[in-house]
Structure 1
Amino acid sequence: MHSPAPHTLNLGILAHIDAGKTSLTERLLHAAGVIDEIGRVDDGNTQTDSLALERQRGITIKSAVVSFTVEAPQGAGEGVTVNLIDTPGHPDFVAEVERVLSVLDGAVLVISAVEGVQAQTRVLMRTLRRLRIPTLIFVNKADRAGARYDGVLAHIAERLTPDIVPMGTVTDIGTREARFTPFTGGGAEGSGFTTRLTELLAGHDDTLLTAYVEDASSLSYDRLRGELARQTGQALVHPVFFGSAATGVGITELTEGIRELLPSAAGDAEGPLSGSVFKVERGNAGEKIAYVRVFSGTVRTRDRVDITGVTGVTGITDGAAGDGADGRREGKVTAVSVFDQGTDVRRAEVRAGRIGKLWGLGDVRIGDVIGVPPKGSGAGDRFFAPPTLETVVAPLRPADRGALHVALTQLAEQDPLIDLRQDAVRQEVSVSLYGEVQKEVIQATLAEEFGLDVSFRETTTICVERVIGTGEAFEVGEKEPNPFLATVGLRVGPAPVGAGVTFGLGVELGSMPYAFFRAVEETVRETLHQGLYGWRVPDCAVTMTRAGYWPRQSHAHGTFDKSMSSTAGDFRNLTPLVLMDALREAGTAVHEPMHRFRLDVPADTVGAVLPALARLRAVPYTQAASGASYRLEGDVPARQVHALEQLLPGLTRGEGELESAFDHYEPVRGPAPTRERTDHDPLHRKEYLLRVVRRTSA
């Protein structure tokens, strides 16, 4: 008989930076009795910002999990255990948010009652709606001067979604006496709320609409509240609460909304094991600790579990094959802890619906699947744009080069999107970035946690290469100029944007050992990280058109001549030369990242703003006046966004508001920028062979 999963809600708290997200987490923990005193971000004593760097800077850098229980009022249903995940608000750390989204049952999006909807708020809400994650909106800072009620609601409806349900009103907003009064089904306010609620909900449900048209009075308030919970759980509507994390106003109502309106975790604790790793950290002894959301089944101490990566090479098929799992590994769980009342405690197991910390999985990585892939969880999916910037990191002391590589490798375990590039020739390491703040954090982390002082080169934009035509090349083993015991033929061609690198066979799978085909495919994918100009080729169709190998020759006395038989190394060494010859014939074009921008400026400053946009190669596609303000929307090269941010205050008297986010890649105008290669450079055959032969013969 199957046991039901515990009544648990895995809840994400998301916001634009400084909207009060971590302060709200503190207030929720205090209201639940988990902490006796409320920490302050500015004082560096909050529960979830545990890193020294977070406390110093007053920002969230890493996601953190903390648990509390919401008890139900008597006769109002069941209580719920909430695993609350506090996420970074700064866009430079959006990768942390991305990893959390796939493990959530619901979310609270925090908005400032003073600033209203901000740039990152829009990015987050678009993603929450696309993923259909049930979301409540909490408008914080109702006690601050400049706080607004109607204006913020209109801002939310215009910039985020019209499907919002204000759950109460605020008196004395903008003062320390601000109070949130929830709407009920009675009185004049309640009657108006019931009408608005009915109209909104009926727009998403034909049965409710029919009942409303035939006899609106037949719809009881209890039925409407039940329907509100159902539609909120389906991410069709979004209840809006107002309050203040600083004073505690509105927290009781928000907490009850979390319990009543957001769906609890589903999952069968007796079913097949299925979980997703969304965070990896290292313990005091340097051991890896994996944070896992368990969707199905149960993980126990001493269990041996399958671990499957979500990126890497595929198995060979006769047709084209896209990026997929990189094969299974196995690990033994040596310890388990679960989150309970503000901390994590050791337990014998973690069951479906819960989040646990697992020890013992030495080669686990962020994004890995534990057991079978979760159904519809989005594990391994990309929700936000990849980093578009990079920089070279160098130790101030040359003797620290080895230690720096080790340290950056450990940081990459916690944030794979920093994407280390090791240049063995120049002894340099580069990292990918979302912004300058992330670079500062990496520098401070290396100094504080690893004792390494580093410098950075100027940040540059990461471009990509797209294949223009079709090209083909081959080399036959033991035939000049090929020194390897391998025959490889490859055809390359363009693939649709977003298709990834596909690898197919134009030869029989049984024509040579599978390990050799796999070596070719793995090398193709690795080589395409650097195209003709040194940039990654993200979308490309590759077909193997020729294959040949030298089998082991047995002598009369039963021995083998290994020197005259092919190895996987022969195929790995030859493939880059053949692939680059084919790519040269096909040709590539360098594309740079473009951001879609939205700019609101005072109308009388447009004359100064437009020429500045033109100098930065920003193209406004739409322009519209609205009273004393003017809105421009268009595209701008990613490398010019920082310059635009610097210019804007001076051009608009500090009143300009800029939102921008990566949108697409566009062909570079003028000479194509190049990127220094970090491999043995198969584009220069003589040097490549000298380095490869020296390496293989060493």
Structure 2
Amino acid sequence: MHTLNLGILAHVDAGKTSLTERLLHTAGAIDAMGSVDDGSTQTDSLALERRRGITIKSAVVSFTLGTTTVNLIDTPGHPDFIAEVERVLGVLDGAVLVVSSVEGVQAQTRVLLRTLRRLRIPTLLFVNKTDRPGARYGPLLTSITERLSPDIVAMGSAWDLGTRSATSTPFTGADPGFTGALADLLTRHDDELLSAYVDDPAGLTHARLLGALAEQTARCRVHPVFFGSAATGAGIDALVDGITGLLPAATGDPEAPARGTVFKVDRTANGERTAYVRMVRGTVHAREVVRFRGPDGQEGEGRISAVSVFENGREVPAPAVRAGRIGRLKGPAGIRIGDSVGADRAEAGRRHFAPPTLETVVVPRRPEDRGALHVALGRLAEQDPLIAVRRDELRGEMSLSLYGEVQKEVIRTTLAEEFGVDVIFRGTTTICRERPTGTGEAAEFIDTDPNPFLATVGLRVDPAPYGSGVEFRRAVELGSMPPALMRAVEETVRATLGQGMHGWQVTDCVVTQTHSGYSSVSSTAGDFRGLTPLVLMDALRRAGTQVYEPMHRFRLEVPADAFGALVPVLARLRAEPGPPEAHGALCTVEGEIPAARVHELQRLLPGATRGEGVLESAFAGDRPVTTGPVPDRPRTDHDPLHRKDYLLRTVRRVAE
């Protein structure tokens, strides 16, 4: 028996949850299909998911197809919940990307396939909803080739599109058009196959082509395309054959030292923390004490009170979870999303999708709920670390990082229904970043004015390559201070860089500790935690910082005669469009626009294009703010930029 960890991904409303239900039904794991509209699906288990008819949290369900056990992970399709998709990608052996045959290739579809290809995750395409009015075959294949990837091949034909009797017929070796298309596609990526085809076209048999198709699919070089309908079951048998025959099974030695990846964390009804883990190798047993390590180097350990795995549509208790499988571990209190379970340290987290670009202040309607809100947000941050709860110590407020308005409303409802806390959100701002522009150095010494702390700290800040994050180094001997004091400096540096000269998180820099000193009788970690922000911000002030704002890459499709009216709108929004390309009565234009202006462009587009404009946008990195005032964010710490006020707050707090 083989195991395949399979992700189902799509733009929202393409039908991936319905496809999950159909696969479960086909495999015999459920007797009757659930409905997204009725809120009766297996994977949308949250009450909020059932009411809204969208997937919010990833869910795992298992079934058997022949000799293959499939652990299927249903992921959200709405862009506001892309973080859920990101956490799943690292545990997949393969994926099915669902495309609606009516709406076609959508913005999120393009983002997802680009990411799957970059990560080399083998991917099949399933064109769903062939039974819906407006369903397309040939034109949609052309659109997929032009907008997703030219490395595709249709695995069957579709008939009676747009009706409940729509069917899909798989191609066979008797279809010369299919054989020719397959040979043309596969020989592009295989010189040996190309030579064999040139020498003897007849010798390139259908069986050999199918073997090469499986090999190239497994290497993410090509993407077979299947047509069908999750609602009627048309084309599902061919898709099942593709899943079991074209996607690679999980590998891993169950006897090797344990190594697994945590991709989801939640709690049981009694509050016990649980972790969903994909075992890469080795085995984790119930009642075993396991170590876990995060990409940031933080380590911990905990006892596994119970293990469950996924079988035939259900979660069942098990004595252990072995290599290649997905299991749910109950008990370890400090385990986090992204941690490695077992022998090895997790790799530094490299982002697959955009980070959140919005921030909002959340406050309870009833002041007496402030403590309950803090606890509730901490629980939500366990499940989604990217909401990044930021506490304002000066104003007693908390801020959240978000992807969009839908996510905000989901959080509001969750806080009310699960935690009994009614909240309001006060404003939404765009999240910027700061990066050092030069090198700066500062130091303060023990028993030397104006330093009131029993500590010596010297720090140097240097710029680092874009995307490298923050690195902390030491140019002092490890034995020059006790480890606890060394650790206090590093932890405080990382925390302080959450707010730079303009209040934004500082990234892409190297901070080096250049001086250290302490009193063996009187110095405490509190002295180093109090002094480090002053020294670091002094060094950062000397280095200088540049504020960067998030940008979106946009693609507009508008009537050609409306483009002229759209140009001043784009200019006013600080967009930078490229030259338009005419396609008959339509034209397309691509460019970049500040993320803060995307929603305004969406609002103005219908009026500027007679309601015919179509906008796609996706995060494209950030760039320096060079026009207008530099955006500042109010500080939420004790403000080490202003020494007198900082010492009034900090020394008093330390003395307490």
Both structures adopt the same fold (TM-score exceeding 0.5): yes
Where 1:260 maps in the other structure, the secondary structure is helix
- Counterpart pick for 1:451 among 414, 420, 423: 420
Q: Does 1:9 align with 2:11?
A: no
* Alignment-mate amino acid for residue 329 of structure 1: G
For the pair 1:69 / 2:69, whether they are aligned, the reply is no
Tell me how far apart the structure 1 counterparts of residues 179 and 348 of structure 2 sit (CA, whole Å). 39
Match of 1:614 in 2: 571
- Matched with 1:224 is 209
* Paired letter, 2:126: F
- One-letter amino acid of the structure 1 residue matched with residue 77 of structure 2: G
More moved, 364-373 vs 105-114: 364-373
- Once the 2 structures are TM-superposed, how far is the Cα of residue 257 of structure 1 from its aligned partner? 0.8
The answer for the alignment partner of 1:672 in structure 2 is: 630
Amino acid at match of 1:598: R
Q: Deviations over 1:71-97 (max 9, x none)?
A: 2xxxxxxx2010000000000000000
Is the 8 Å Cα contact of residues 391 and 457 (structure 1) preserved in structure 2? yes
| Corresponding residue of 1:348 | 319
CA contact (8 A) 1:367 1:379 kept: no
Which stretch of the first structure deviates more once superposed, 463-472 or 401-410? Answer: 463-472
How large is the RMSD of aligned CA atoms in angstroms?
Answer: 1.3
Which secondary structure state, in structure 1, belongs to the residue aligned with residue 45 of structure 2? coil
State the secondary structure of the residue aligned to 1:49: coil
The amino acid across from 2:195 in the alignment is T
- Determine the C-alpha separation between the residues in 2 that align with 1:55 and 1:29: 18
Q: Secondary structure at the match of 1:541?
A: strand
Other structure's SS at 1:272 match: coil
TM-score of the two chains, using structure 1 as the length reference = 0.92
CA contact (8 A) 1:596 1:634 kept: yes
CA distance in 2, matches of 1:216, 1:174: 38
Matched, 1:546 2:515: yes
- Conservation of the 8 A alpha-carbon contact between 2:293 and 2:345: no
Cα deviations by residue, 1:379-407 (Å, 9 ceiling, x for unpaired): 83311110010000010000000000100
Distance 1:54 1:523 in 2: 40
**Paired position in structure 1 for 2:392:** 423
Q: Which residue type is aligned with residue 631 of structure 2? A: P
Q: Kindly indicate whether the alpha-carbon contact (under 8 Å) linking 2:295 and 2:345 is maintained by their aligned counterparts in 1.
A: no
Residue type of the alignment partner of 1:55:
R
For 1:179 and 1:613, the matched residues in 2 are separated by 45
CA distances 1:464-493 after superposition (whole Å, capped 9, x unpaired): 112122222111111111111111111212
- The alignment status of 1:691 with 2:624, answered yes or no, reads no
The equivalent of 2:506 in structure 1 is 537
1:338 aligns to 2:327 (yes or no): no
Question: Can you list the C-alpha shifts for 1:52-74, whole angstroms capped at 9, x where unaligned?
Answer: 10001010000000011112xxx
- Which of 21, 39, 47 matches 1:52? 47
Q: Distance in 2 between matches of 1:588 and 1:678?
A: 19
Q: Give the distance between the partners of 1:462 and 1:621, measured in 2 at CA.
A: 26
Report SS of the residue matched to 1:44.
Answer: coil
- Contact 2:122-2:220 at 8 Å conserved across structures: yes
Structure 2: unaligned runs, 5 residues or longer: none
- Aligned length in residues: 655
SS of match in other structure, 2:578: strand
CA distance in 1, matches of 2:293, 2:567: 51
- TM-score with structure 2 setting the length: 0.98
Query: 1:468·1:494 contact (CA, 8 Å) conserved in 2?
Result: yes
Q: How does 1:559-574 map to 2 (within 5 A)?
A: 565-574=522-531
SS at 1:660's partner residue? strand
SS at match of 2:113: helix
- Give me the whole-angstrom Cα distance separating, in 2, the residues matched to 1:629 and 1:379: 45
Partner of 1:116: 104
What do the CA deviations read for 1:332-354 (whole angstroms, capped 9, x no partner)?
A: 11100000011100010111100
**Counterpart in the other structure of 1:318:** none
Q: In the alignment, which of 323, 332, 338 is matched to residue 361 of structure 1?
A: 332
Q: 1: CA distance between counterparts of 2:580 and 2:483?
A: 58
Match of 1:561 in 2: none
Displacement of 1:374: 8.4
What is the distance in 2 between the residues matched to 1:655 and 1:60?
Answer: 29
Q: Aligned with 1:148: secondary structure?
A: coil
Contact 2:307/2:330 (8 A) holds in 1: yes
The alpha carbon displacement at 1:515 in A equals 2.8
1:339-370 CA distance string (max 9 Å, x none): 00111000101111000000111111111100
CA contact (8 A) 2:442 2:459 kept: yes
Structure 1: give runs of 5+ residues left out of the alignment. Answer: 1-5, 72-78, 312-324, 553-564
Correspondence for 2:235: 250
1 CA distance for matches of 2:204 and 2:344? 42
97-106 or 679-688, which deviates more: 679-688
C-alpha distance after superposition, 1:114-154 (max 9, x if no partner): 11100000000000000000000000011111111111111
The aligned runs of 1:594-673 (5 Å cut-off) are: 594-668=551-625, 669-673=627-631
The residue aligned with 2:22 is 27
The runs of at least 4 aligned residues of structure 1 exceeding 4 Å deviation read: none
> Which deviates more from structure 2 when the two are superposed, residues 348-357 or residues 644-653?
644-653
Aligned-pair identity (%)? 67
Q: How many Å apart are 1:507 and its aligned residue?
A: 2.9
The residue that corresponds to 2:169 in the other structure is 181
- 1:373–1:379 contact (8 Å) kept in structure 2: no
What aligned pairs does 1:579-598 form with structure 2 within 5 A after superposition? 579-598=536-555
**C-alpha distance in structure 2 between counterparts of 1:653 and 1:251, whole Å:** 40
